[in-house]
Every structure is written in structure tokens, then in C-alpha cells.
């Protein structure tokens, strides 16, 4: 529970959904975490279990979290019931001038997979991107063999645009990425259809 207590030490936004607390991370939040927290507090706050993971995050921070035309907004997923960090979902490679960003998501706790937690988080985070970040386009780069991730994107109306060959490196191997995108007008149509279906069920 210490990680939730640490929220009160810095200016950080926490949003509540049905089963989750979504803790908002921005470059300003990460600056404060890495410059004022002890190593143990950083590990607890970020949900890191080893010193190796801590050093990896410190290295990423030292390299710079943002570039002159790119930023990020990420949300840490905390399960209400257990009060523990179970994953993350948010935007990186956010280019405000072009009103687009890439979305990334992952559940880090196996027992929370296949239970609809990421769908619950994505519903809010997509709305946040289009309504509060002024996005017109959200992109997702998904490994072709990652069926759960593909199904999640398609559930929200993402459209497959093509394949980027040898796009990223994982465990020493270059791998492809399927490119998906969701435009604001497509998202709005999805939301309208969803609301109509909910009204019919009542």
C-alpha cells in the first residue's frame, strides 16, 4: 500500500474506474519521482521487484523521457481489490503538433489476464486521448502473433493498415509489427454504437 501513500507526496492524478485505479504519469511526475524518492520508494512506486529493474528504469530516465517534439502520458493500472500494480496503459511518441500518439498496454500480473481489466482501462484511456489530449489519430504497433492484443485493438475499432518489417528488436531478434490506427471519427462512431446497444439492453 506504500505506493498509494506516495501519491500524496507529489502532485499526481488518480482516476477511478469500476475495478481499477489509473495513476497518471507525465514527464513532470517522473522528474519528481527520480529526483526526490529513495531507491526503495522508486521501486515501490513503479512496481519494480528487483534492483536490476530499477537500474533499467534509471537508465531510461537519464537518457531523457521526452524529445523536443514528443512526449507521453501513461497510466499505471492498480487493482482496487488487492491494491497492487497490475500493468500499464498509455500514450508514447505523442506528437501534439500532429495530433497523434502511439498507444501501448500490458498486464504484468498473470492472474489479471483474460478478465477484462485492459478492456476496462482502454475504454477510459482512449476517451482521455481523444477528448483531453486533442488527438485525431491513435496508433498501435502489434506483433502479428499477439492475438490478445490484436483482439483488444479490433474490439475498439482499430483498423489494420499494414506490416512494418523487422520493426523492433526483442531478445536479440528483429520482429515485425502490424500497424493499426483509430481515428477520432471512428472512435466517435464506436462510442455512439456502444451507447445505442446499451440503451437497447435497458
Could you report the per-residue pLDDT of 91-131, keeping only the tens digit for each? 999 999 999 999 999 998 889 999 999 999 999 999 999 99
Fold category of 136-202 in CATH: Aminopeptidase (3.40.630)
Per the CB < 8 A criterion, the answer to whether 10 and 26 are in contact is no
Q: How confident is the model at residue 25 (pLDDT cuts 50, 70, 90)?
A: confident
What is the pTM for the complete model shown?
Answer: 0.81
Phi then psi dihedrals of residue 171, to 5 deg: 50, 40
Q: Is 110 helix (H, G, I), strand (E, B) or coil?
A: helix
Average pLDDT over residues 178-198: 94
Domain locations in the chain as residue ranges: 1-109, 136-202
- Kindly write down the DSSP assignment for every residue of 136-174, as one continuous string: SEEEEEE-TT-HHHHHHHHHTT-EEEEEEEEEEEETTEE
* Residue 151: count of CB within 10 angstroms of its CB: 10
Grid cell of 158 as nine digits: 482499430
Q: How confident is the model at residue 170 (pLDDT cuts 50, 70, 90)?
A: confident
pLDDT at 5 (0 to 100): 41
Amino acid at each position: 500500500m506504500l505506493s498509494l501513500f506516495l501519491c500524496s507526496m507529489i502532485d499526481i492524478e488518480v482516476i477511478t474506474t469500476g475495478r481499477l485505479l489509473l495513476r497518471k504519469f507525465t514527464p513532470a511526475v517522473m522528474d519528481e519521482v527520480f529526483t526526490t524518492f529513495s531507491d526503495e520508494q522508486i521501486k515501490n512506486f513503479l512496481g519494480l521487484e528487483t534492483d536490476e529493474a530499477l537500474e533499467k528504469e534509471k537508465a531510461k530516465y537519464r537518457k531523457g523521457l521526452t524529445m523536443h517534439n514528443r512526449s507521453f502520458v501513461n497510466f499505471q493500472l492498480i487493482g482496487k481489490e488487492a491494491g497492487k500494480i497490475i500493468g500499464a496503459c498509455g500514450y508514447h511518441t505523442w506528437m501534439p503538433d500532429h495530433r497523434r500518439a502511439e498507444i501501448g498496454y500490458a498486464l504484468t500480473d498473470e492472474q489479471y489476464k483474460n478478465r477484462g481489466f485492459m478492456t476496462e482501462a482502454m475504454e477510459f484511456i482512449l476517451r482521455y486521448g481523444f477528448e483531453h489530449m486533442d488527438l485525431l489519430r491513435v496508433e498501435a504497433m502489434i506483433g502479428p502473433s499477439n492475438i490478445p492484443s490484436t483482439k483488444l485493438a479490433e474490439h475498439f475499432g482499430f483498423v489494420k493498415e499494414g506490416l512494418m518489417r523487422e520493426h523492433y528488436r526483442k531478445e536479440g531478434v528483429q520482429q515485425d509489427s502490424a500497424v493499426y490506427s483509430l481515428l477520432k471519427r471512428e472512435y466517435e462512431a464506436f462510442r455512439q454504437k456502444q451507447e445505442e446497444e446499451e440503451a437497447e439492453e435497458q
